[in-house]
Amino acid sequence: MIADFEYFAPKTVKEALSLLSQYKEAKIIAGGQSLLVVLKQRLFSPEYLIDIKGISALDYINYEEGKGLRIGALTPHRTIEKSPVIQKYFPVLSEMENNIATIQTRNWGTIGGNICHGDPAGDPAPVFIALKAKLKLASLGGERVIDMQEFSKDYLEVALDPGEMLSEIQIPKPAPHTGTAHDKLMVMKGDMGIIGAAVSIVLDSKGKCEDARIVLSNAASVPLRAGKAEKKLIGKVLNDALLAEAGELASAEADPPADVHGSAEYRREMVKVFVRRAAAKALERARAA
């Protein structure tokens, strides 16, 4: 059973922020696909629940040539998956969304709710980090923008100050010759990844790796950026052997959990496999871009 709480359903951003300012310990629900599970398990029992699902102003996808992509925090997963704009400019997001849970969940669950839940096994955060995304956080005192990479602090803990909520995800236009890919190990399609990898590769005019981002899910208490693995690729003409070496380095950087789905040792082995797979796909796309 879920513990009793006082419920609010604001219809505007200003109203939501006013409630957050008044009730500092309130919890936001933006779809509830993750939060309701936590509430039912009594892992968290807020006195106040602010349901922002009805704030239509935060449900949008906009792309501008000079500014890149802007996604409202309340945009459903299914909208991102099916968006022609996403499929044209950031197809990795559509592919990633297609492997999140079920269609019913994607129809109701929001991208902002997923990110703010702070689960290191989640798929969107690593992909957004690979894409150099930033997050716009709003409060009555104003707005601030932080890197997606800085948002996750620990398991189910994110960098939201009291009175703040996520309002927008901002993704810059990729550099020329950029390829990004995501892959994860699943028991069944749509399952939470036992291990996952998002990889972005940028090639220079001579075909060398100019920049690389390798981000792992379910490999630490936060989405893990594998810096040593990235450095192995930068400045080199990439091949299968180098991608395999990057997978080995990423595996050594990982500190994965052990649970019923796999031991820590098994997950480290799978990091090698899925970094190599995602990197190979990203490299192929970078060469074709």
Give tens-digit pLDDT for 270-285.
999 999 999 999 999 9
Give the tokens for residue 128: 């957004």
- What span, in angstroms and rounded, lies between the C-alpha atoms of 126 and 214? 8
Q: In the structure, what pLDDT confidence band is assigned to residue 25 with cuts at 50, 70 and 90? A: confident
Q: In the structure, what pLDDT confidence band is assigned to residue 39 with cuts at 50, 70 and 90? A: confident
> Over 90: is that where the pLDDT of 156 sits?
yes
DSSP 102: -
Domain residue extents for the chain: 6-51, 59-171, 179-288
Those residues whose C-beta lies under 8 Å from the C-beta of residue 146, and which sit 6 or more positions away, are 134, 135, 137, 159
Share of the chain above pLDDT 90, in %: 90
User: How many CA atoms lie less than 13 Å away from 112 in the CB half-sphere?
Assistant: 30
State in words which class domain 59-171 has: alpha beta
Tens-digit pLDDT profile for residues 90-113: 999 999 999 999 999 999 999 999
> Over 80: is that where the pLDDT of 7 sits?
yes
Share of the chain above pLDDT 70, in %: 100
φ/ψ bin of 81: left (φ > 0), alpha (ψ from -120 to 50), beta (otherwise): alpha
pLDDT score at 133: 98
> Over 90: is that where the pLDDT of 42 sits?
no
Q: Which CATH number fits domain 179-288: 3.30.390.50, 3.20.20.80, 3.40.50.720, 3.30.930.10?
A: 3.30.390.50
May I ask the CATH architecture of the domain 6-51?
A: 2-Layer Sandwich (3.30)
- What span, in angstroms and rounded, lies between the C-alpha atoms of 127 and 93? 7
Strands (E) located in 87-208: 134-139, 142-147, 152-154, 157-158, 165-171, 178-185, 195-203
pLDDT score at 37: 81
